[in-house]
Structure 1
């Protein structure tokens, strides 16, 4: 198969006539030979699709005339294979599940910090707390050096995790980040509601940072929610895999563990089974 173009994009906007919009997008994607997932809700759109460059651009050209989506911006990467097995277009209550009423990124978000500006701050040694808003299983593949992880297994746990952060952070400069930026659109306003006074979000997340700044101040790779599993700082697919049993991402080194059996289980599974044994 020729090179595949992958795009990730989201936009918070008040969308209407969702069933008709879903049908139109699904038909278009199938016609264009695209695969991936598109989430639609009254609060906006979130999509991850892959196909030929011409096809993904045609999809974006179709979406941008929709009221509220004119500024829909995609992050591009390339792969040697199609990372999705089918095309899904789903209707959801939220395009990123958070569960907190009154958070409306279409109207209010925290200030966005461009990747180049963050790199400049870090180059200069500027006092800043980097807050990783992602799930723990994502963070294990890589993160910014010295970043503080919130320690969650699902983004819905983020509010309680924030309430456990030290009060001293409320007066410090905090730059939060995630894979592509969408989680921070909700995380920022929530943190401000909780009394954090100087919160920024990394515009475009880790993927845009990789695109513009490479691996500066970053260790490892970035977990992605498709069959590629991980991307390096050049946005190339790594050799990380998911455990068949527990779905934990495994680096190349972890795949050398004697308890890793491809398509069966891994050392994380073994540790859990050992811990569950009586006495």
Structure 2
């Protein structure tokens, strides 16, 4: 028997979703939602994973964290009264000393409902071989002020390095918007979009900056000479805009990968409901769990379709519970979930 089996069993969440939500609803304190990443060599990712899980469980932190040999990528929330201790203990780990945080624009105590720390091959799935980029040879990092100034340059190419369902609800003015569903698909698409522009100024941006680190290294590897990236991503851009009184060049909402699914950067609503076409930037997952597709749905359609994406899915949620579970098991066995692509807009 593994002598560490008992210890390993403790290093995972054992509560149900209902129990986790009930626990959150009873909290009387504020949680700070934040994200951070760093490319740094971690010799033993499994050991680091357990260390972080134990540390953050003790501080009642919640979130989704990936640890790999190449570094860490974290989105989480921290009880406000533990924030200083959280920061102190994280910075005490040499690999994460003074790691910069991106604090969320809009806080929600339910941004995450449990703590998950996983070991991955890479902290961002990119589908690249190690010889296709050098993450130490990245683009120039721009402040919000520098970014706004470079947006005015002739022949500038502004590229959204996020998935299309993210840019659909919000993006920078004049940005190229790849229509990929994943970062892995997006890199070659962006390379093709920029062919012939190797000497032009390239401006890359994403949510918090992590995808731009690899994207800028990838483009430099392929001969692009003037590659720049928004330091801290959209999240830190908005912080700087507010603090320095700068012009906000971002239109709409910033999609985030937690239960909030978005935070407003400007008051504009630039997207439309996928069912009725009215202005809408609210993402929902289809209430039919065998579908669970991510889509845009206004409140009126949410009432009419009962939170589902189609009349067919609406019928499913009225089936007996055992029938619904049977459908869900079939979907999981086939591993062929219905995709968001059904509403994918035509390239402009």
For the aligned pair, the TM-score class normalised by the smaller chain equals: 0.7 to 0.9
Deviations 1:126-177 (A, max 9, x none): 2222100100111111000110012211001123213321423222111000
**1:181 and 2:209 correspond:** yes
Map 1:75-94 → 2, pairs under 5 A: 75-77=102-104, 78-94=106-122
- Stretches of structure 1 that go unaligned for 5 or more consecutive residues are none
Residues 89 and 196 of structure 1: is their aligned pair in 2 closer, same or farther, counting only changes over 3 Å? same
Residue in 2 aligned with 1:150?
178
**Could you say if the C-alpha distance between residues 32 and 266 of structure 1 is closer, same or farther in structure 2, counting changes exceeding 3 Å?**
farther
How far apart are the structure 2 equivalents of 1:67 and 1:104? Answer: 23
> Residue 158 and residue 239 in structure 1: after superposition, are their counterparts in 2 closer, same or farther (change >3 A)?
closer
Distance 1:148 1:93, change over 3 A: same
Q: How far apart are residue 87 of structure 1 and its match?
A: 0.4
Larger Rg: 2
For the 8 Å contact 1:210–1:234, the answer to whether it is kept is no
Farther-moved stretch of structure 1 (3-12 vs 94-103): 94-103
Higher relative contact order (CA 8 A, sep 6+): 1
Deviates more, 1:223-232 or 1:93-102: 93-102
Conservation of the 8 A alpha-carbon contact between 2:34 and 2:103: yes
**For 1:118 and 1:216, how far apart are their aligned partners in 2?**
11
Q: How many residues align?
A: 264
Could you tell me how far apart the structure 1 residues matched to 2:92 and 2:303 are? 52
- 1:241 equivalent in structure 2: 283
Q: Distance in 2 between matches of 1:50 and 1:70?
A: 19
Match of 1:70 among 97, 122, 138: 97
Aligned-residue offset at 1:223: 0.1
TM-score scaled to structure 2, two decimals?
0.69
Greater fraction of residues in strand:
1
1:16 aligned onto 2:62: no
Change (3 A) 1:81 1:139: same
**What is residue 164 of structure 1 aligned with on the other side?**
192
Alpha-carbon distance, 1:210 to partner: 1.1
* 2:219 counterpart of 1:218: no
SS of residue in 1 equivalent to 2:56: helix
How far off its partner does 1:256 sit? Answer: 3.6
Q: Using the alignment, how far apart are the partners of 2:94 and 2:148 within structure 1? A: 34
Unaligned runs of 5+ in 2: 1-27, 268-279, 315-338, 343-348
Shift of 1:234: 7.5
When structure 1 is superposed on structure 2, of 159-168 and 200-209 the one drifting more is 159-168
Write the distance in 2 (CA, Å) between the matches of 1:261 and 1:2: 35
> Using the alignment, how far apart are the partners of 1:220 and 1:153 within structure 2?
20
The equivalent residue for 2:346 is: none
Runs of 4+ that moved beyond 6 A:
none
Residues 37-116 of structure 1: matches in 2 within 5 Å?
A: 37-77=64-104, 78-100=106-128, 101-102=130-131, 103-105=133-135, 107-116=136-145
296, 300, 308: which one aligns with 1:264: 308
